[in-house]
Amino acid sequence: MTTTQAVEGSAAHENTGAERTVFLLAHTGRPAAIRSAELVVQGLLRSGIGVRVLAEEAADLPLPPEVQRVDSEQCAAEGCELLVVLGGDGTLLRGADFARTSGVPMLGVNLGRVGFLAEAERDDLDKVVDRVVTRAYEVEERMTLDVLVRNNGSVVHTDWALNEASVEKAARERMLEVVTEVDGRPVSRFGGDGVVCATPTGSTAYAFSAGGPVVWPEVEALLMVPISAHALFAKPLVTSPRSVLAVEVQPKTPHGVLWCDGRRSVELPAGARVEVRRGAVPVRLARLHHASFTDRLVAKFALPVAGWRGAPH
């Protein structure tokens, strides 16, 4: 199976029940998200599609009574045809929690800055509603990470990530001493700010800021990128998707912290070991466009391409 696997939305996501339902998640702290949510809800309801929202967000949204309110649980999207997320990267990563648990495809509308996970922009709301109504979208699967923390040989924490799992120093004034490992063999020991273990999806996020390579989403691989390492050899590594990456916090170093997608964290005592492998459950993304990742990269980062002439015909 490739990292991205497109299937027709109309064939794969038709509800067996009488009513189609879309789960809507919005960054209600942004006025733009509230207005966008109102427009999406109105468009879906007019087309006979039910809408479900989190009860905690409902109070901040101008919603008609027929909109379903549910508790903020990871299974809140269960049984829905699609998860539509309105917001920036943080909101999209929050939506990924629901998408992964339920298996429901996530369609992101970017209201932030870069928004690599998003498929549409705020000006595309009418198009988004139309594509949802007509099921004119495809779905691709994105690789995730399963993360495990050991201390004194015992598993003390498990987690997951869509973008990255990062082992970082907890104190600004002290370096974190670590040993990195790939497939049970040590690679390098160094002090620094930490290490990012990422998916191809996460290669344009934290790993990119740390100096890692951009990896096309259809490439199946894992990345290990040191953060500000004080070492002669502390280069970004690209490994097999079947590899197991490990970061060991050394015994005589200050404690560190594990961050998963920058959203969930757990303290790492000296001597802790973090193991990262390909996740057993992917996240499914709904796609509206057939644009290549190259074009997406150029657009999102506003890369200069003036002077390009293309291959001769």
pLDDT tens per residue, range 195-228: 999 999 999 999 999 999 999 999 999 999 999 9
How far apart are the C-alpha atoms of 114 and 117, rounded to whole Å?
9
The residues carrying an active-site annotation are: 89
57 annotated among ligand-binding-site residues: no
- d(CA 104, CA 95) in angstroms, rounded, equals 10
Smallest CA-to-CA distance from 152 within 257, 273, 244 is with 273
Segment 75-105, tens digit of pLDDT: 889 999 999 999 988 999 999 999 999 999 9
pLDDT at 12: 41
Length of the chain: 313
CB 240 within 8 A of CB 222: yes
Please tell me the pTM assigned to this model: 0.90
Of 261, 205, 223, 213, the residue nearest 91 (C-alpha): 261
112 assigned to a ligand binding site? no
**In 3-state terms, what secondary structure has residue 231?**
coil
Q: Determine if residue 204 is labeled as part of a ligand binding site.
A: yes
Q: Residue 7's pLDDT is what?
A: 39
71 is in an annotated binding site: no
Terminal-residue alpha carbon distance, the chain: 34
Is 16 a residue whose pLDDT tops 50?
no
Percent of the chain past pLDDT 90, that is, above it, reads 74
Instruction: Count CA atoms within 13 Å of residue 226 on its CB side.
Output: 22
Per-residue pLDDT at 11 exceeds 60: no
CA angle 184, 231, 185 (to 5 degrees): 10
Query: Is 137 annotated in some ligand binding site?
Result: no
